[in-house]
Amino acid sequence: MGGILIDCLLLVLFVLISRANRKALIYADQVNEELQIEKSLLENSNQELEHFAYVASHDLKSPLRAIDNLASWVIEDLGEDIPEASKRHLALMRERIGRLEGLLDDLLHYSRAGRLQYEKETVAVGKLVGEIVDLYAESTLHFEIAPDLPVIDTQKPPFQQVLQNLISNAIKYHDKKEGKVTVGWEDAGSFFRFWVADDGPGIAPEFHERVFQMFQKLQSRDEVAGTGIGLALVKKAVESYGGEVLLISDIEQGARFEFTWPKYIALGGTDE
């Protein structure tokens, strides 16, 4: 009797487990189906966002250029007869038009960050940094570039954009005529860790997350030119390749931006 009872209990337990497994499989199928639907919706949303960004960048630029041309024609037609106040107002209007064009360009770059695919190519990072620094030849800052920056196989456009934005920011927000910007690196296992550091004004800890948000600037746009998208674009591009961005700074010292970049990249992402 004892053996029969144990067999019955085992049979009941087996039936219960089988039912539980079937329910679990049905639930897993439902979750997977929902995830596929959400993935499809997200892909459609991303495509719509990119299309909107393209239209905004492309179509809105034509009337902006027309307005800028009108302002320049007014200045040319009036010549010396234009009042000083009107001259200042027209110059300010043209400056605002240029700022809006830059904003439209940056929005387009941001919408595409991490989504466009590029062919891998061999990049001498030291040479690339030198070319970026040459773009800011008018700067009086001193640049210290690590002599042993690596040669890597990567998708160059997003990597170049990250470096250029960080170097540009180090120059743009420096508060002294004489200062230093340092570009360095180290091996971090399956990643390279690069950094761009300066001895400028520094950034208080309470603003470390804010600076990576879109349209966030710690200084007035009239004091320092820019759209406030640069660091948001850096963060999005780096994270799309599995890396991370870190800001080390306080108000007593300069700012050091570090980012990791994978050593091995497949088309459209990392091999990791």
199 and 65 in a single domain? The answer is no
- Strand, helix or coil at 177? coil
Whether the Cβ atoms of residue 185 and residue 153 lie closer than 8 Å to each other: no
Residue 40 lies in a domain: no
Exposure class string for 108-134: b at 16+ Cβ within 10 A, else e: bbbbbbbeeeeeeeebebbebbeebbe
Examine the fold and report which residue of 94, 112, 130 is the final residue of a domain before the chain moves on.
112
70 and 155 in a single domain? The answer is no
Of 133, 128, 63, 69, the closest CA to residue 101 belongs to: 63
87 and 211 in a single domain? The answer is no
Residue 14 lies in a domain: no
127 and 195 in a single domain? The answer is yes
Backbone angles phi, psi at 151, to 5 degrees: -105, 125
Residue 28 lies in a domain: no
167 and 77 in a single domain? The answer is no
Residue 105 lies in a domain: yes
Residue 48 lies in a domain: no
* Model confidence, pTM: 0.62
93 and 136 in a single domain? The answer is no
Q: State the residue range of the domain holding 96.
A: 60-112
Residue 138 lies in a domain: yes
Domain total of the chain = 2
Interatomic CA distance for residues 156 and 14, integer angstroms? 58
DSSP state of 211: G
Residues 6+ apart with CB under 8 A from 111: 49, 50, 52, 53
Interatomic CA distance for residues 155 and 128, integer angstroms? 13
256 and 140 in a single domain? The answer is yes
- pLDDT tens for each residue of the chain, 272 residues long: 555 666 666 666 666 677 777 777 787 777 777 777 776 766 666 666 666 666 666 677 777 788 888 888 888 887 877 888 888 888 888 888 777 777 677 666 666 666 667 788 999 999 999 999 988 878 888 899 999 999 999 988 889 889 988 998 888 888 777 888 999 999 999 999 999 999 888 888 887 787 877 655 555 444 445 556 778 888 988 998 899 999 988 767 789 999 999 998 765 444 43
255 and 219 in a single domain? The answer is yes
| Half-sphere exposure at residue 10, Cβ-oriented, CA atoms within 13 angstroms | 6
250 and 198 in a single domain? The answer is yes
State the chain's maximal CA–CA distance in angstroms.
116
256 and 135 in a single domain? The answer is yes
Whether the Cβ atoms of residue 111 and residue 49 lie closer than 8 Å to each other: yes
Residue 81 lies in a domain: yes
